[in-house]
Amino acid sequence: MNTLCYYFWVLLGGVLFLAEMLVGAEVDKNIAALEQLADQNDISAQVKLCDYHYHDENYTSALLWCKKAAERGSTEASYNLGWIYRNAENVEKDIQQAVFWYRKAAELGHAGAQNNLGVMYLQGNGVAQDKKQAAKWYEKAATQGNVVAQNNLGVMYASGEGVTKDIQQAIVWYRKAAGQGSVQASYNLGKIYEVEDRVRDYKQAMVWYQKAVKKGHARAAYRLGKMYEDGKGVKKDPVEAYKWMVIYDANSRKNWAYELEKRLSSEEILKGQNEAGQWWEERKKQPDK
């Protein structure tokens, strides 16, 4: 039986290797055909080659074809080109070119480019820092449903940078982003409900911190621990606070739990550690909830 199993796996490995070789050969054939068309100025082929090499992380080839397609008006190629000039390895970075192509794509309505252009204005990276321009581009992207821009716009409204401070608008955009799965937006909602006087709601803060920490946001575990330690919206519970600090430390390589241990009995420490372990087990069963 063992011999049969061995030959079965050897045969299966050979079949899979052959299949991979055939697929690779077919891809090479298709790429060659696209290159032939692209060399004849077929923009559709140029865009496809740009996209293929970009996602294959072959940025040298991507740069060649994306530039050809972008110069002929391709929105996606313009965005890819902006990203390559700003971020790609094995390609000489050129922030001015990144701004140029992001702007091209942004003006053509590309939400990702609009958000990235907003980031560059916020940081003063390749352009003079202009927080109003940052907010403008974030809003354009956010209204198209770009989740990163929605969170970024929420941050602007929460801080009053580039826009008039408006906590309700911050909540609106954070909720939109959180509804699309943004972990940072969930954390930001928790923070607003915890610290902002006009909308303070400790129960809501805990709800959003819980959502964030379940998706791996370490700082949310710390905030939950502090709320239980300080009795914000709940009765002070040093064991529950310790549990969340254990979870935070595991995610962040900090040592806040140790500080709480000094005030706990050995039984309380064991209980907190066990509850943290149970939380981890539950999270493994439902990682995305």
C-alpha atoms less than 13 angstroms from C-alpha of 32 in its C-beta half-sphere? 6
Between 31-40, 78-87, 213-222, 259-268, the lowest mean confidence (pLDDT) is in 31-40
Per-residue pLDDT reduced to its tens digit, 96-109: 999 999 999 999 99
pLDDT the model gives residue 2: 55
Percentage of the chain beyond pLDDT 90 is 72
pLDDT tens digits along 29-56 = 577 888 788 788 888 888 898 889 889 9
